[in-house]
Amino acid sequence: MASDRFIVEPLGEQHNRAAFRCSDHQITNYFRRHAFANLQIRIANAWIIRDRHTDLIVGFYTLSTASTDFGAIPEQFTANLPRYPVPVVLLGRMGVDRRYERQGFGTRLLIDALHCVYWQDVMAVFGMVVDPKAGVREFYTQFGFVPLTNDPQRLFLHLETFMDSRSAPPSL
Ligand SMILES: CC(C)(COP(=O)(O)OP(=O)(O)OC[C@H]1O[C@@H](n2cnc3c(N)ncnc32)[C@H](O)[C@@H]1OP(=O)(O)O)[C@@H](O)C(=O)NCCC(=O)NCCS
């Protein structure tokens, strides 16, 4: 993936949403019809990867604030956590255009989302949650997402654990 060819940027009015088509028609439909409108009314921000050679939108994700019950957080992450609702970010929708599938762009999008959320200083975010489509669960679990205890359909990733795992020195 040539790094200067693909750029991550916020979705804007100038982008050609109609040309985007991923393998899930609901997600395609969401992106074409609702993604821009939803960012305008500030309920979900959308970020894209764009191919500078073709100007096609390679993939996108959306983020919104959310909250999770304390009791839903898996026990291994609850040390020092007060028994209040826990601030999380919702990865609402994500998709990669069919022409670019299985080339690492989904991974790049997810990691970009996690880094953006982790390194911003405006608000505290404990983890990321996602409601994966049928058959896509393994895409998320490979990064360490685990089921919430009260809602196993919803997956959770503890941000600090994820970042620690990325910065760990390679084992000898
Ligand atoms: C899921 C999706 C975003 C993955 O994007 P991608 O760019 O193809 O993913 P990557 O190339 O980064 O995949 C990396 C690894 O994730 C795993 N993976 C990828 N797609 C997967 C899927 N659909 N299900 C399970 N595991 C998957 C594979 O292990 C893959 O490695 P491999 O290609 O060497 O086998 C993309 O397939 C997509 O847009 N699907 C339709 C929309 C959708 O379902 N979105 C998710 C909604 S929750």
Residues 118-161 have pLDDT tens digits of: 999 999 999 999 999 989 999 999 999 999 999 999 999 999 99
Residue whose CA is at the smallest distance from ligand 1 atom 23: 136
Place of tokens 């609850």: 78
Give the model confidence (pLDDT) of 20-32 as tens digits: 999 999 999 999 9
Q: Which two tokens stand for residue 68?
A: 């999770």
> Of all residues in the chain, what percent carry a pLDDT higher than 70?
95
Closest residue to atom 48 of ligand 1, CA basis: 132
Query: Is 1 contained in some domain?
Result: no
SS3 content of the chain, % helix, strand, coil (to 5): 35, 25, 40
Q: Which of 143, 131, 126 is nearest to 74 (CA)?
A: 126
In a domain, 171, yes or no: no
Does the pLDDT value for residue 3 go beyond 80? Answer: no
Does residue 172 lie in a domain region? no
Query: Can you give the pTM of this predicted structure?
Result: 0.95
Ligand 1 geometric centre to CA of 122 (Å): 30
The verdict on residue 49 lying in a domain is yes
Verify whether ligand 1 is closer than 6 Å to residue 10 (CB atom): no
| Shortest-distance atom of ligand 1 to CA 59 | 39
Q: Is 107 in the pocket of ligand 1 (CB under 6 A)?
A: yes
Give, using CA atoms, the residue closest to atom 33 of ligand 1.
Answer: 102
Q: Residue 55 is part of which domain span?
A: 6-164
Please count the structural domains in the chain: 1
DSSP character at residue 130: E
Query: Is the distance from the beta carbon of residue 24 to the nearest atom of ligand 1 less than 6 Å?
Result: yes
Terminal-to-terminal C-alpha distance of the chain: 28
Query: Ligand 1 centroid vs 63 CA: distance in angstroms?
Result: 18
Looking at the domain assignment, is residue 156 inside a domain?
A: yes
CATH number for 83? 3.40.630.30
Q: Could you tell me if residue 44 is inside a domain?
A: yes
Question: Would the CB of 149 count as within 6 Å of ligand 1?
Answer: no
Cα separation, 110 vs 130, in Å, equals 11
Whether 170 maps to a domain, the answer reads no
4 in contact with ligand 1, CB cutoff 6 A: no
| Residue of the CA atom closest to atom 6 of ligand 1 | 106
